[in-house]
A and B are shown apart, each in its own frame.
Chain A
Amino acid sequence: MSRAVYIVDGARTPFLKVRGGPGPFTPVDLAVQCGRPLLLRQPFAPEAIDQVILGCVNVIADEANPARVAALRLGCGAQTSAFTVQINCGSGMQAMDTAYRYIADGGGDLILAGGTEALSHAPLVLRQDAVEWLAAMQGSKDGPLGKLKAAARFRPDFLKPIVGLERGLTDPITDLGMGQTAELLAHLFGISREQADAYAVESHQRLARAQAEGWLEGELVPAFARDGTVHDHDDGVRPDSAPDKLAKLRPVFEPPYGKVTAGNSSQITDGACWTILASEDAVARYGLTPRAKILDSQWSALNPAIMGLGPVLAATELLKRGGLVLDDIDLWELNEAFAAQVLACLAAWEDDDFCREVLGLDGAAGRIARERINVDGGAISLGHPVGASGARIALHLVQAMERHGGELGIATECIGGGQGGAMLIERIANVGAAA
């Protein structure tokens, strides 16, 4: 049994740049901020939702299984099951993909799926030797003297915490930071610092334009902090970004010769995104308006050191299975983890030998024009709350296709640890573009 699955709606919070210290929202707070207005505009009650699936990488201690906590706080009711998925930068898309498969198989009709991440709340972690010292002290059975002896083994550097986020952005197998994997791709596909910076500038300009033109309307819902502050836009955008400014930045991951800088990498931000996926039955029952249909999805994997090429593998697989070629896809969202990494993906598809030897194509897959990819900016300008990004690019693809027209779109992202995810969607005509 395989049933049609529709994206009927979706929304996200503004993506809020981490500015030192925990931001105003925890991961579940963000999911609630985004979910409340989304559910408020539905013709069904929150209790009508069959299941809630949420991607989240950095779960905080107070919010084990954030999907369930969010579902209950959103009023979905005690009887709605909820679980959290985690595949690093693909988590939000993994949530949608799981929902898609449940509905296709008849395991649900109406699923709330998305992702959330509050990187500003990523925990500080104690050093391993400090943890061992604490355990030894607490576990000492030799009375007060034993405890005192154990305590005496304290060293001041035990207090130096490790930023959990930094470890999370390092591949455990190769011990390469994510930025380093982008350096490697830049080297392998001959991406220059200038090209990467130029790409980053354009990302900012595109987002600034989308904000000014109101192209994010409906997708973006404001978030209200407890102190009353209204967060109503992606605040990492720098409309005045320019190549000469970016050129001054030092390479952060591999100085002095590296090409990847804070300016041409995705920003560290907090944010959440939900989508509502529905079966034909649910569409009919509640009188919903489908915006897009999910046609297929794909997860691929490769050497963690070149994780940035994940989208090339996953998206090509989707195309092959659908009997499609690169040019058949009207619009792309390829998550901007790093400018060099996006450009390396594009270069790979234009690389005759690579496409033949690795992707099993007859030759170069082709060229994706800049006008058809990341048309309203991406993670470089609006940030990359890792658990949320996968859902955001899928939702924004729908939103952008309604403006641009066209029939088919692919949202795809690279995933730390050496993976790639991709989702193929079809715009449901009669919505958007005509208006």
Chain B
Amino acid sequence: MTMQDPVWTYLEDRNLTLGPRPVPSEGMRHWTLTRDAQGVAWAVLDKQGSGANTLAQEVLEEFAQILDRIDQRAPKALVIRSGKREGFLAGADIGEFRGVTDEAAIRKRIEQAHAVVDRLAALTIPTIAVMHGYAMGGGLEIALACTQRIAVEGTRFGFPEVQIGLHPGLGGTARFTHICDPIAAMSLMLTGKTIHDRQAKAMGLIDALVPERHVQAAVDAAVAGSLPQARQGVLDKAKDSAPARRIAARQMRTEAEQQAPSAHYPAPYALIDLWEEHGGDLDAMKRAEIASFAKLMLTDTAQNLIRVFFLRQTLKDLAGKTDAIRHVHVIGAGAMGGDIAAWCAWKGLRTSLSDVKPEPIGGAQARAAKLYEKIAHGDRLQVRDALDRLIPDPDGLGIAQADLVIEAAPEKADLKRTLYAEAEPRMKQGAILATNTSSIPLPELREGLARPERLVGIHFFNPVSRLDLVEVIAHDRLAPEVEAAARTFVGRIGKLPAPARSAPGFIVNRILTPYLAEALILMDEGLAPETIDRVATGFGMPMGPLELADQVGLDVALDVAAMLKRELGWALPDAPQWLADKVAAGDRGRKTGKGIYVWRDGKPVKSNSPDPDPELADRLILPMVNTAVAVLRENVSDDPDVIDAAMIFGTGFAPFRGGPIHYAQQRGIDDVLAALSALEHEHGARFAPDAGWEALR
């Protein structure tokens, strides 16, 4: 529960235990080193010019200086801690990995970094990492090189390296599997998932879990040697034997293949190889880790995933910081409106939700309760507080109190305008009116508004809780500060804003539709849906177009396609009659339990089908790529990175390909154009290369 309270605000800083008051140490910008009355040295990291601590080259070099001083002055023990309130260490500075091409140079740098960490590990005094907030990647690897690890309650841990096509590279693969149950350690590194404090304690990643107020006492215990060290048990050691590793590695490869096929994602398999070959031998595994890490760094996959990491950062930066939204009102408690409201409340905003009838509001609340219980990991207070913030509001009273009113009514312009006519006069001075429309042009919706400059599009994707992208839609009369406030709101609720101009389908639906349409055409040509979907997953999509159409809702997909055809005069054939019949019969996809597939327990039931012709990938993917270029040419978004990011975070477009436009550039524009022309020749005008390609050459 967030509460503004001057007493706690004043006292909060006192809660942190950072050793003696840090004084700037000569020659160091990021670290301070002090010695307390007991003769314990405290090395506190507060990376300058950065919100989070990362293991930048400079930070590591300064840490080597700290180790020099430790050697000279021989304190009783060394404590390593972060001076930032948010967390310990977020891992490597990924910017330093970007665009590297020289394998030997990378190897040299990693060897140097290893040498520093090895020096820490070789110290004969107790070395104690005190972690709070988060300890990720390289940060956690430093902690693993200490003799003891203390965590403050609420700390999260993880090795996210696989998400950027790498594995830990600072000795972590060796040390982690050496200290803990190697299978559990491998599983954490292979999935890139974060774990919470109790899980870390249970697996022996940390020796003590304490509230902040007992950090000093725990450090004292560690210095005195009375804090028991978590270590591998007999069973864990057995798991690290060569025959056991062989069996486990085989199983890991099978499981990894389900999540991240080796054809596209080499890192998990490199990690499994490392452990299978060298597990149990700390030094050999560390050495092998350096070579493996350097090799991975140069792969297209790693470089493209690093690109995705920065695309996320780009969109985050578009969000801005000044945040004026405290109360959100959502009109319409259907699938989208209800889930948008639930998400806003989860993210700490007071959120009221109205609908013409109370029952859908109840339904939305029930869905919210289920979602919260899943994502709160058993924290019932978080669930309660979020549900308290989500206020069912059948009378729409919240409209008068909200800083932002989001309309998520059915896609009918008349209905939306009627709702605006009722809402606008009741809204607070300075409040923003937003529409979640996916298909109606904003100039059409702003008609009749007293303040058209305060209507903005804030377009979420389904499922709201899982898709990070939100399109922020502008129109020619929108006030710039309203557009900026909408982006900031999107950032405030932990989503990524993609600014776009109001044009049919905006960015994502526009690009996605020809892909879904082509899948339907392939079905009409007699291919099994399972086969078609496998073409797409083979390319690297998280799910195929037909499964996606079911997920989105066939009715919604059809509406959007018809609208785009109408507005843009697209050369798409009409949607097949059987599809219209299906929708008319109420088979609308996942939400009704039946669409192109039959859905059971939230999953499509798929039968065996012949393997697809790999050539078919172009037929599905290139219409998307071609449309992405049109979106850029028409200035729906003027930034190819935003378009790529929108497709990755809004639809899961094969992330290791770096986005549709980046994919075309990497493959070669000429090659893509040739393929499009061939397809145009064979299948018709819908494949005609867009005029925008010229500008990309």
Contacts and interface: CB of A to CB of B under 8 A. Distances in A.
Contacts of B387: 226
Contacts of B363: 228
A228 B4 CA distance: 31
A32 B386 CA distance: 13
A226 B366 contact: yes
Contact of B361 (A74, A79, A230): A230
B361 A78 contact: no
B395 interface: yes
Contact of A37 (B362, B389, B395): B395
Nearest to A47: B4
Contacts of B364: 228
Is chain A's interface secondary structure helix, strand, loop, or mixed overall?
A: loop
Nearest to B357: A230
Contacts of A79: 5-6
A428 to B, nearest CB: 22
A86 B272 CA distance: 65
Contact of B362 (A36, A78, A224): A224
A363 interface: no
A224 B361 contact: yes
A228 B5 contact: no
Contact of B3 (A40, A78, A222, A227): A78
B633 interface: no
Is chain B's interface secondary structure helix, strand, loop, or mixed overall?
A: helix
Contacts of B83: none
Contact of A228 (B3, B8, B365): B365
A32 B397 contact: no
B3 A226 contact: no
A79 to B, nearest CB: 6
Contacts of B388: 32, 36, 73-75
B5 A230 contact: no
B391 A232 contact: no
A226 B369 contact: yes
B359 A230 contact: yes
A228 B397 CA distance: 20
Contacts of A77: 3-5
A78 B9 CA distance: 12
B394 interface: yes
Contact of B392 (A75, A78, A224): A224
Nearest to B384: A73
Given A40-B391, A73-B388, A226 B358 contact: no
Contact of B352 (A40, A227, A230): A40
B363 to A, nearest CB: 5
B350 interface: yes
A229 interface: yes
A194 B367 CA distance: 50
Given A32-B388, A72-B1, A75-B350, A232 B397 contact: no
A155 interface: no
A32 B387 CA distance: 11
Q: How large is the interface on A (under 10, 10 to 19, 20 to 34, 35 or more residues)?
A: 20 to 34
A232 B352 CA distance: 18
A248 interface: no
Interface in A420-435: none
A72 B3 contact: yes
A141 interface: no
Interface in A57-106: 72-75, 77-79
Contacts of B407: none
A222 B358 contact: yes
B276 interface: no
A230 B362 contact: yes
A41 interface: yes
B533 interface: no
A226 B395 CA distance: 20
B587 interface: no
A232 B392 CA distance: 12
A41 B395 CA distance: 10
A74 B397 CA distance: 16
Contacts of B359: 230
Contacts of A40: 352, 391, 393, 397-398, 401
B369 to A, nearest CB: 5
B125 to A, nearest CB: 44
Nearest to B387: A226
Contacts of A78: 3-5, 8
Given A37-B393, A37-B397, A78-B5, A232 B358 contact: yes
A220 B391 CA distance: 16
A75 B388 CA distance: 9
Given A40-B397, A224-B362, 7 more contacts: A37-B392, A37-B397, A73-B385, A78-B5, A224-B358, A226-B387, A229-B362
Interface of A: 32, 36-37, 40-41, 72-75, 77-79, 222, 224-230, 232
Closest 10 CB pairs of A and B: A228-B366, A78-B5, A228-B362, A78-B3, A40-B397, A224-B392, A230-B362, A41-B397, A230-B358, A36-B391
22 contacts: A32-B388, A37-B391, A37-B392, A37-B393, A37-B395, A41-B397, A74-B388, A75-B388, A75-B389, A78-B4, A79-B6, A222-B394, A224-B362, A226-B366, A227-B366, A227-B369, A228-B363, A228-B365, A228-B366, A230-B361, A230-B362, A232-B358
